Amino acid sequence: DARVTQTPRHKVTEMGQEVTMRCQPILGHNTVFWYRQTMMQGLELLAYFRNRAPLDDSGMPKDRFSAEMPDATLATLKIQPSEPRDSAVYFCASGLDSPYEQYFGPGTRLTVT
Amino acid sequence: GQQLNQSPQSMFIQEGEDVSMNCTSSSIFNTWLWYKQDPGEGPVLLIALYKAGELTSNGRLTAQFGITRKDSFLNISASIPSDVGIYFCAGIKTGANNLFFGTGTRLTVIP
């Protein structure tokens, strides 16, 4: 049963600290998406990769957020420095060849105090 | 960002009843997806629709791509307790790379 995996599942950190979230897309998928979910804003797209190249990161605050794909099996989302307003659930999703059918991971619940 | 409007926002139904929910937008979409999210988990893809007028089923779930391409509908027949969760629609516009997500419909099934 192929699934997207995310680590850690939960992260509590203090304001100003660096946070790194990791995602392993489904083997063979070549598109990866990072989303943030909050009660107020719902699901928001942060970044989108195809074949490891960033295609769209317009939804991501550039001054503190960065997303990379060091290889085809790993995507990372970093926040430095973290702020309380970054508290949310961050989801990674992967797909094959298109943005159409996306399969989500279980999410990383981030709390910044 | 832009969101799709889902209605109703929440539903409380008796086990065994049928459920209908919809998703509307002022924009035209060329793909509609329906997801279900359980507490503490990521959204799970239920049904994908690619053509206006298309009607697709997945077990007790049936979804339709609206003729105007500005809406989509999801029906659940004979609801059961495990249908509880939040149902999201998502759409993709022509030439776009990303999904626009609906505001969600929270379903509660009373045994």
Structure tokens at A79: 């926040």
Whole-angstrom distance, CA of residue A100 vs CA of residue B97: 8
Among A43, A48, A103, beta carbon nearest to B45: A103
Average pLDDT value over all residues in chain B: 93
Distance between start and end Cα atoms, chain A: 36
Tokens 């997945």 belong to residue: B58
| Nearest CA distance, A7 vs chain B (angstrom) | 13
Whole-angstrom distance, CA of residue B8 vs CA of residue B99: 21
B6-37 per-position pLDDT tens digit: 999 999 999 999 999 999 999 999 999 999 99
Q: What does the angle CA B12 – CA B13 – CA B17 come to, to the nearest 5 degrees? A: 160
Interface probe for A, chosen from B4, B97, B105 (most Cβ of A below 10 Å), is: B97
Name the closest residue on chain A to residue B43, using Cα atoms: A104
DSSP 8-state secondary structure symbol assigned to residue B99 = P
B103 contacts in A (CB within 8 Å)? 42
Residue B3: predicted pLDDT: 64
- Residues 6+ positions from B22 with CB-CB distance below 8 Å: B6, B7, B71, B72, B73, B74
Residue range A73-100: average pLDDT? Answer: 92
A65-71: strand order across its sheet: A5-7, A19-24, A74-79, A65-71
| Nearest CA distance, A11 vs chain B (angstrom) | 14
Query: Is residue A62 predicted with pLDDT exceeding 90?
Result: no
CB-based contact B3 A42, cutoff 8 Å: yes
